[in-house]
Amino acid sequence: MRINRVLLVLCCAVSVSLIPCSVMSAEPQLVDIEMVLAVDISSSVDDAEYDLQMTGLAAAFRHPEVISAIESLNSGGVAMTVVQWSGTWAQEVVVDWSQISDGESAARFSDLIVATSRAFSGGATSISGAIHFSLRQLQTNNFNGNHSVINVMGDGRGNDGPLPTSVRDRALSLDVTINGLAIVNEQPFVDLYYEENVIGGLDSFVLEAKDYHDFSRAVLEKLVREIRQRSPAGQIVAWANPNISLSIGVPFSP
3-state secondary structure 47-92: HHHHHHHHHHHHHHCCCHHHHHHHHCCCCCCEEEEEEEECCCCCEE
- The backbone torsions φ and ψ at residue 22, rounded to the nearest 5 degrees and listed phi first, read -65, -30
HSE-CB for 15 with a 13 A CA cutoff: 6
Q: Is residue 249 part of a domain?
A: no
Q: Is residue 123 part of a domain?
A: yes
Which pLDDT value is given to residue 172? 97
Exposure string for 33-63, b = 16+ CB within 10 A, e = fewer: bbbbbbbbbbebbeeebbebbbebbbbbbeb
Q: Is residue 251 part of a domain?
A: no
Count of structural domains within the chain:
1
- CATH code (residue 169): 3.40.50.410
Q: Is residue 241 part of a domain?
A: no
Which pLDDT value is given to residue 247? 33
- How far apart CA 52 and CA 66 sit, in angstroms, is 19
Which pLDDT value is given to residue 145? 95
**pTM of the prediction?**
0.83
Which pLDDT value is given to residue 121? 87
Q: Is residue 210 part of a domain?
A: yes
Q: Are 69 and 181 in contact (CB under 8 A)?
A: no
User: β-strand 91-100 against 78-85: which pairing, if any?
Assistant: antiparallel
Of 67, 100, 57, 84, nearest to 218 by C-alpha is: 57
Q: Is residue 115 part of a domain?
A: yes
Q: Is residue 236 part of a domain?
A: no
Range of the domain at 97: 29-228
Q: Is residue 247 part of a domain?
A: no
pLDDT averaged per 10 residues, the chain (length 254):
40 40 63 98 96 98 98 92 97 98 98 97 95 98 97 96 96 98 92 98 97 98 96 52 36 29
Alpha helices in 93-189 (DSSP H): 103-114, 127-140, 164-173
Which pLDDT value is given to residue 233? 64
